[in-house]
Amino acid sequence: MAKADGMLDVLVATPGGGGGQGGIDRMMASLRTEAERQGRPDLRIQFGASRGLGHIGFSIWHMSVFIIRMLALRLAGRLDVLHLNLAIQGSTWRKLILAWIAHAIGVPYVLHLHGAEYQEYWTDAPSRRKRAIGWLFAHAGRVIVLGNTWAQFVTSRVPGIGPRVLIVPNAAPRPVLAHRGGGNLVHILFLGRVGDRKGVPQLGEALSRMQGDPGWRATIAGDGHVEAARVAANEAGLAERVDIPGWVGPNQVAELIANADIMVLPSFHENLPISVIEAMAAGLAIVVTPVGAVEDIITDEVNGLLVPPGDVDALTVALQRLVADPELRARLGRAALEVHRTRLDMEPYLGAITNAWRGAAQRAVH
């Protein structure tokens, strides 16, 4: 429970402890940085790895260390709330273990739903997994979701949970580098896992259709099926115009965004993609599919262009429009920047997450 002096001790479980390369770890790393920047005297946050980096076989070791740390903090009176970042598959089973232990020792937990395919994962699950997931959500002090569609889904699955479900969209810090753009060539940027779910094959086809259009280049950056994407680009004759560097670290991401003009993410499934929010923070023109909670932050023709998932024709037209029309790029980019500054910046994000932590702690008291 929250202590008399108002100090709130929080332990956050993330896949890599806030130092990994996935979206959850990037989000939690930004949260940590913002908390340090604000220097909150009422808040003490610690981060731990629930899966760890590297081979999945080592996750048992990381989980064991996390559990020992959780128990030690509780015994020392320095654990008021546990924050569990949740995705599908192994993430769910790891968080079930942590939630069960937290429940047993009287520590309230906040469940933070990130998984892009969680609706299918839960809805199509065998009965044993459905019951386990239902327990996980039903016993959470607060459930954080990233948009309206996810709030509706969770409330439809767990009776009476509605008052404990909070919509807190992902956020991104303001860029550390000034935006320069691509210069003489309009730079189209993709950031994410290279593969089918993110629509990379469709993006490759769209870029192939644009080979006769002058004035653009593209970068497809991220881990995943990188070599297959390089082979496909070579076979399509795109090697000179499309760079596929593989995974890039935070400094390289910042450079790519600073030197980009258009962010494209033609995914089939998303929750609320951080790469899009990072691009909005820099004022890029956005091309994205209306999946997950994307439509909570992107309005078609207002602060971005929405194209149907899998529709290569629409994706090609959207990219061609933006490459050919600098005024459209500028207008959409300015509007995206305004949405970031008013709704998706890190300062209000930390405030909203802190409110969820305090709400869970106060509920445990009552």
Which of 114, 178, 174 lies closest to 348, judged by CA?
174
* Residue 263, token pair as written in the block: 């962010």
pLDDT tens-digit profile of 85-99? 999 999 999 999 999
Q: What was the pLDDT predicted at 5?
A: 66
What lies within 8 Å, CB to CB, of 298 at 6+ separation is 276, 286, 288, 290, 304, 306, 336
Q: Is 40 helix (H, G, I), strand (E, B) or coil?
A: coil
Instruction: Check: CB of residue 203 under 8 Å from CB of residue 181.
Output: no
pLDDT at 10: 98
Q: What is the Cα gyration radius of the chain?
A: 21
Phi–psi pair at 56, nearest 5 degrees: -60, -25
| Res 309: pLDDT | 98
Please state, in angstroms and as integers, the Cα–Cα distance from residue 338 to each residue in 167, 334, 350, following that order. 20, 6, 19
- Token code pair at residue 121: 């994962």
pTM above 0.95, yes or no: no
Answer whether 258's CB lies under 8 Å from 278's CB.
Answer: no
In the chain, the domains with their CATH numbers are 8-171+345-365 (3.40.50.2000), 186-343 (3.40.50.2000)
Residue with the two structure tokens 């993330």: 14
3-state secondary structure of 117: coil
Task: Of 312, 6, 292, 348, give the one whose Cα is nearest residue 149.
Answer: 292
Task: Write the pLDDT tens digit of every residue in 224-281.
Answer: 999 999 999 999 999 999 999 999 988 999 999 999 999 999 999 999 999 999 999 9
Beta strands in the chain (DSSP E): 8-14, 43-49, 81-86, 109-113, 142-145, 165-167, 186-191, 216-221, 242-246, 262-265, 285-288, 305-306
Residue 87 CA to its chain's centroid (Å): 11
Give the pLDDT confidence score for residue 201 in this predicted structure: 98
Helix ranges, 83-159 (H): 90-104, 118-123, 127-138, 148-157
Look up residue 91 and give its two tokens. 């993430």
Share of the chain above pLDDT 90, in %: 90
Phi, psi of 69, deg, nearest 5: -65, -40
What pLDDT score was predicted for residue 51? 86
Residues in the chain, pLDDT under 70: 1-5, 18-21, 365-366
